[in-house]
């Protein structure tokens, strides 16, 4: 098997692992109610740790794929996570994928593909210095804090914060990888150690934020994560690592058009109805013959 085919195979398996992890997180989030005990229940769940293992395996496969194939080939294939996760989640939930979900998924992938093809290129040899990494980390933490502030309903804001955290973690991982493999400095120098700690923090934060985002469903939050992740990494690459959009003015127009199409795809996914929830109070009320009795909660809620 040549290097290109190996890169494609590794990328496909990586996308499948990411999709399975996302579905597991969404199903776990739907079973755990919000509250102080939610985190403890999550950490004690085998499903949660299975999703952690799947995410870790997918990340390793993605890094391996980048070793055998160019970024312009491997990175767009990561968007197949969305294609795999939406039908997989629907099948496990015992329903069919709706036409609206297929439409939103397709639009998001088309737009994301246009963005990645114009913004990505060969892996850079430049790395972030320790001060640059700390500034990036501080700015990202500030943005994540605003998106996931207390009182914010779980959903697309948390998904955006998760994508930013994961994208920054990927960009910082590139710095660690280049610093370790170029052999120009100590293996465990300050740059490697500090940036590696930041990678661990942002990777864990992105995982927890995505878990919160999936309480509102899978399709739209996963689309936002899939879109915001490469956007965050691209901003770092353009601003600090000397990367440029490919294709000049045409590339910029294609990137803008791709962003608009992907954003519309996310909007379409948000319109996809989830399975209607059963009202717990009415589900367990026995059927009693005679005149209906209005629940006290409803009486008190009236003006």
* Confidence (pTM): 0.72
Cβ-based neighbours of 7, under 8 Å, separated by 6 or more:
65, 66, 68, 69, 73, 74
Q: What does pLDDT average to over the chain?
A: 76
Res 217 pLDDT > 90: no
**Percentages of the chain per state (helix, strand, coil), in multiples of 5:** 75, 0, 25
For position 174, what pLDDT does the model report? 74
121: left (phi over 0), alpha (psi -120 to 50) or beta: beta
Q: What are phi and psi of 231, to 5 degrees?
A: -65, -45
pLDDT band for 287, please (50, 70, 90 cuts): very low
Structure tokens at 41: 């229940």
C-beta pairs of 121-126 under 8 Å, 24+ apart in sequence: 121/71, 121/72, 121/243, 121/244, 121/246, 122/70, 122/71, 122/72, 123/66, 123/70, 123/71, 123/174, 124/174, 124/237, 124/241, 124/242, 124/243, 125/178, 125/182, 126/178, 126/241, 126/242
Mean pLDDT, range 106-127, rounded to an integer: 73
pLDDT band for 13, please (50, 70, 90 cuts): very high
Query: Please, how many CA atoms are within 13 Å of residue 163, restricted to the half-sphere of its CB?
Result: 25
Query: Please, how many CA atoms are within 13 Å of residue 31, restricted to the half-sphere of its CB?
Result: 12
Look at residues 62, 52, 61, 1 and name the one whose alpha carbon lies nearest to residue 24.
52
Res 131 pLDDT > 90: yes
Look at residues 175, 183, 188, 78 and name the one whose alpha carbon lies nearest to residue 136.
175
Maximum average pLDDT range among 205-209, 245-249, 279-283: 205-209
Res 302 pLDDT > 50: no
Q: Is 27 exposed, middle or buried (0-12, 13-18, 19+ CB in 10 A)?
A: middle
Q: Return the C-alpha torsion angle 248, 250, 255, 261, nearest 10.
A: 180
């Amino acid at each position: 098997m040549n290097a290109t085919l190996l890169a494609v195979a590794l990328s496909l398996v990586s996308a499948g692992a990411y999709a399975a992890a996302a579905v597991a997180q969404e199903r776990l989030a739907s079973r755990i109610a919000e509250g102080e005990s939610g985190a403890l229940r999550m950490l004690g769940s085998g499903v949660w740790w299975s999703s952690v293992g799947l995410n870790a395996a997918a990340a390793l496969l993605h890094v391996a794929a980048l070793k055998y194939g160019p970024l312009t080939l491997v990175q767009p294939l990561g968007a197949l996570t969305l294609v795999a996760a939406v039908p997989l989640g629907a099948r496990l939930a015992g329903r069919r994928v709706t036409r609206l979900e297929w439409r939103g998924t397709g639009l998001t992938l088309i737009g994301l593909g246009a963005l990645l093809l114009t913004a990505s290129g060969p892996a850079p040899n430049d790395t972030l210095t320790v001060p640059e990494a700390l500034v990036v980390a501080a700015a990202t933490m500030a943005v994540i804090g605003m998106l996931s502030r207390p009182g914010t309903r779980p959903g697309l804001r948390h998904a955006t914060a998760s994508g930013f955290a994961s994208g920054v973690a990927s960009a910082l991982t590139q710095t660690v990888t280049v610093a370790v493999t170029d052999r120009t400095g100590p293996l465990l120098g300050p740059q490697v150690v500090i940036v590696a700690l930041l990678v661990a923090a942002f990777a864990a934060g992105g995982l927890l934020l995505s878990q919160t985002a999936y309480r509102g469903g899978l399709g739209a939050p996963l689309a936002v994560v899939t879109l915001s992740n490469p956007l965050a990494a691209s901003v770092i690459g353009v601003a600090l690592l000397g990367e440029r959009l490919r294709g000049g003015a045409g590339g910029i127009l294609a990137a803008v058009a791709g962003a608009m199409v992907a954003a519309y795809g996310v909007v379409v996914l948000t319109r996809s109805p989830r399975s209607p929830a059963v009202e717990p109070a009415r589900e367990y009320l026995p059927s009693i013959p005679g005149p209906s009795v209005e629940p006290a909660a409803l009486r008190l809620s009236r003006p």
